[in-house]
């Protein structure tokens, strides 16, 4: 499984990378939506994109709409990870094609829980 982490903050990319690496994902990082789109155009095939909203050059919302408009990437799971918590923004992102929405700050458990809901992670149940 491969995750594309899209955030202009290297700190946030590092935090997310630690979480999903622990879950067995390989990762690629992008500093904005355009870089991420370029990576997809170059042939990267992630199962999951973790996407910040506010970024320079191309924001996360635009990235979601661009990905969803292209049938080549219809199977990619898109999860917004952002400080944007206004109800209208959440609705916009989900309507544009994001599958899940996580508001910063988040705990690692919150990310794991969402990935479980999306079927990308299966937690082992203790015997």
User: Using CB under 8 A, which of 106, 112, 113, 118 touches other proteins?
Assistant: 106
Site string for other proteins, 85-104 (x = CB under 8 A): xx-xx--------------x
The answer to whether residues 50 and 93 touch, using CB atoms and an 8 Å cutoff, is: no
CB-nearer residue toward other proteins: 85 or 123 = 85
Interface positions, 48-87, toward other proteins (CB under 8 A):
54-56, 82-86
Per-residue CA distances from 93 to 26, 64, 73, 108, 111 (Å): 25, 8, 17, 22, 17
Rounded CA-CA distance 101/25 in Å is 19
Query: What are the residues binding other proteins (CB under 8 A)?
Result: 8-12, 14-15, 18, 54-56, 82-86, 88-89, 104-107
């Amino acid at each position: 499984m491969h995750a594309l982490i899209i955030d202009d903050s290297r700190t946030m990319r590092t935090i997310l990378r630690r979480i999903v690496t622990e879950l067995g994902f390989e990762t690629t990082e992008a500093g904005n939506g355009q870089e991420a789109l370029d990576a997809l155009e170059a042939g990267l095939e992630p199962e999951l994109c973790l996407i910040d909203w506010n970024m320079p050059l191309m924001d996360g919302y635009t990235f979601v709409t661009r990905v969803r408009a292209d049938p080549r990437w219809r199977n990619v799971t898109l999860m917004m990870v952002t400080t944007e918590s206004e109800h209208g923004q959440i609705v916009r992102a989900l309507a544009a094609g994001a599958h899940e929405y996580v508001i910063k700050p988040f705990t690692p458990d919150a990310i794991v829980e969402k990935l479980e809901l999306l079927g990308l992670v299966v937690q082992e149940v203790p015997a």
